Chains A and B, each alone.
Chain A
Amino acid sequence: MKQTIPWLIAALAGGVVIAAFFIPAAQPWQDRAGQWFEVLAGFAFVLGGANLFVMNLRKIAAQGPGWGYAAVTLVSFVVTLGVGLWKVGVAPRDGRTAWQGGYLDEGSALWWLFEYAYNPLVATMFALLAFYVASAAFRAFRLKNTEASLLLATAFIVLLGRTYAGAALTSFVPPEYSALTIPGMTALIMKVVNTAGQRAIMIGIALGVAATSLKVLLGINRSYLGSGD
């Protein structure tokens, strides 16, 4: 009961979506399933937010190590949620009332948080990875064998080929031999070898996704339902 009904729901939902691809008459069903999917995805965000709220509240209540940061997370979350849902600071413009404005309109409180907190934090966090990628590459990249040498040489050529230095270093090569310049080699790598490799990876991924999806829809893989009861 607790395993069979969910599987039937999954099989029916997935089957409708697949059937609509082959049977045009089933297209409205697919559209409706897509709408429900989006609604449930919205509820999933609510679930995630509620979970974050409860977890951090528990941490604060327990006064364990780092509970102050949990409080900061909680306050940031509640404030962002509140100003976003209530469209705080959204100005009426172009004949629209404030409630009819976009929740991310310039000048609104959520826009302010997005622009001055979310964006710099996320961008800097990803920028930080530049240092760690370089550090990891320095420690891991060694000319140990053919494969590692190919990887290292390609990375070096492509990195150099996308900068002015790469063009300047091989500027003495005549135009008719442009494929021998660093930018030319970069273009060749991207056009031929990288295309072949990426294409093989994409075909592999597509086959893998198709197989996994079929296993889910046929009930062979029910791991998403959890274990027990």
Chain B
Amino acid sequence: MSREARVWLAICLVSGGFLLYRGAFSDAGLGRIYVKPVAARPTIDSEAPGAAAAADEVPQAAREAAAEGAQGNAPGADAGAAANPGGPAAIPAPLVGEGQAWETARRGESGARVSIPRTVGLWLAAFFTLAIFSFLYRDNPCYRFAEAVMVGVSAGYAMVAGFWDALFPKLIARLAPATSQFLTGQREVAPVEWWALIPLALGVLLLLRLAPRGGWLARWPLAFIVGTYAGIRLISFVEADFVAQVRQSIIPLAVFDRNGQFDIWQSLQAVLMIVGLLSALCYFFYSLPHKGLYGRVARVGVWYLMITFGASFAFTVMGRIALLAARLEFLFDDWLWLIDPLSRRGTGG
């Protein structure tokens, strides 16, 4: 082990030891997440006749009982039902026996308790953050592990989102409305839409791309995707970018204020903007050689573009630095509890 590595190891051990000591043996504490049960919101069958009026008539006792049941108190379910005998049967069974909904709470808040899964997640997130940052030193197994997890989780998440946001509502719900009713809680079963068989068939053809034979059939759905996308983009870009930008550029070059006085400053800005736009467009027009007067105009356009790129670069840097600050805040605030800029932990703990 080199001298440099030994120094870094010593610094890490001392810092880690201090943080562990601080977290374990002082009141300051160390990365934990508190949760509290979500109070059930008594709901009414909104589609039933007179539901709105019935909602107002639900006894307060029933509401409280339902809320109590939601906090993991099993008898609360019965109490909620019993407190409303003969009523509109409006209060659903509280959240008992089917899992419990929890939400993040502040430390010291009434009813808040430490959540083991979320605390483990917090420490895992801290590990992932440090593992990615470790690449600044050099490529290492921790970084590559975190990178592999990121690829897997990202792909899995994209597939889940694709299924629940696109395939389910646009395909499955149309072909199997009963399933949709079970999964969405809709009251009425919609009729089957046989049109949905066409995208289903195209989708199956798309998957043939992975098959050893018949992969060429995947071109058909691909062509549909490319054609539709080309049509959508053509219209949206021409309408939103080309026409709208041209329209917004047709502005008066001589600007007068409310009193009818010539506003030289605003006029100068308008002229500079139009000159810049036209000269930059000249630079993008390659059908004419950039020589002579036209070349000089195009050169002015390049200056405008360089200033634009400089501003874009600055915004990119600021965005990345903001992200970096957010990650450091996560490490020092959420995980290590060294800082508390938003007073989220308060004094209750």
The chain A residues found within 8 Å of chain B, CB to CB, are: 2, 5-7, 9-18, 21, 32-52, 54, 66, 69-70, 72-81, 84-85, 89-100, 103, 105-107, 110, 112-131, 133-134, 137, 146-148, 150-156, 158-159, 162, 188-207, 209-210, 212-214, 216-217, 224-226, 229
CB distance from B233 to the nearest CB of A (A): 5
Closest to A53 in B: B155
The answer for the CA separation of A110 and B117 in the assembled complex, in Å, is 13
Determine whether the beta carbon of B307 is less than 8 Å from that of A216: no
CB distance from B266 to the nearest CB of A (A): 10
B210-246 to A contact mask, C-beta < 8 Å, 1/0: 1000001001111111111111111101110110011
The chain B residues found within 8 Å of chain A, CB to CB, are: 38, 40-41, 43, 92, 95, 98-104, 117-118, 121-122, 124-126, 128-129, 132-133, 135-136, 144-167, 170-171, 182-185, 195-196, 198-200, 202-203, 206-207, 209-210, 216, 219-235, 237-239, 241-242, 245-246, 248-249, 269, 272-277, 280-281, 283-284, 301-318, 320-321, 323-324, 326-327, 330
Known: A17-B232, A39-B200. A123 touches B100 (CB 8 A): no
The answer for the CA separation of A33 and B239 in the assembled complex, in Å, is 20
The answer for the CA separation of A122 and B150 in the assembled complex, in Å, is 7
CB distance from B322 to the nearest CB of A (A): 9
List, in ascending order, chain A residues with CB within 8 A of B219's CB.
2, 6, 225-226
Known: A73-B152, A98-B98, A112-B118. A39 touches B306 (CB 8 A): no
Closest to A190 in B: B311
Number of A-B residue pairs having CB atoms within 8 Å of each other in the complex:
431
The one of A77, A137, A224 in contact with B155, judged by C-beta atoms closer than 8 angstroms, is: A77
Known: A39-B166, A200-B280. A121 touches B132 (CB 8 A): yes
The answer for the CA separation of A153 and B103 in the assembled complex, in Å, is 48
Known: A49-B156, A152-B310, A197-B305. A98 touches B162 (CB 8 A): no
The 14 listed contacts between A and B (C-beta, < 8 Å) are: A40-B221, A42-B171, A72-B149, A76-B151, A79-B152, A89-B99, A90-B99, A106-B104, A118-B150, A150-B307, A192-B273, A194-B312, A210-B242, A212-B230
CB distance from B326 to the nearest CB of A (A): 7
List, in ascending order, chain B residues with CB within 8 A of A16's CB.
231
Determine whether the beta carbon of A193 is less than 8 Å from that of B308: yes
Closest to A162 in B: B318
Classify the secondary structure of B's interface with A: helix
The answer for the CA separation of A14 and B223 in the assembled complex, in Å, is 10
Determine whether the beta carbon of B210 is less than 8 Å from that of A47: yes
Determine whether the beta carbon of A159 is less than 8 Å from that of B317: yes
List, in ascending order, chain A residues with CB within 8 A of B149's CB.
72-73, 76, 117, 121
CB distance from B44 to the nearest CB of A (A): 9
